[in-house]
Amino acid sequence: MSVAAVAHRHYLLPDTPYAMWVRDELAGFLDLPKDGTRVEVIAGEIVVSPGPSLSHNMIVGDIQKSAARAEFADPGFPWECAHHRPRSGAGL
């Protein structure tokens, strides 16, 4: 499956996106949303992706419940669920 994206804005950055991200300047320069929207720099391009859909979240919940049930039934079950935590960039 592929999703086509249309560029809505073009920015001329004073430095590389990575360098600006390291200095914590990129989000402010681009006036990025603070609503949980995924914003990534991929190969120098800034990519904004929509958040997951309700059906996606329901499927993830089902997978987590299944893993928890399996672990409860067999304490030696090797998997565990870990929630995604956004990276702050600290410690890089």
Global pTM exceeds 0.95: no
Look at residue 62 in the predicted model and tell me its pLDDT. Answer: 92
- Residue 17 CB neighbours (<10 A): 20
Residue 36 backbone zone (phi > 0: left; psi -120 to 50: alpha; other: beta) = left
Task: Encode pLDDT of 16-38 as tens digits.
Answer: 878 888 898 887 887 777 777 77
pLDDT, mean of residues 61-75: 86
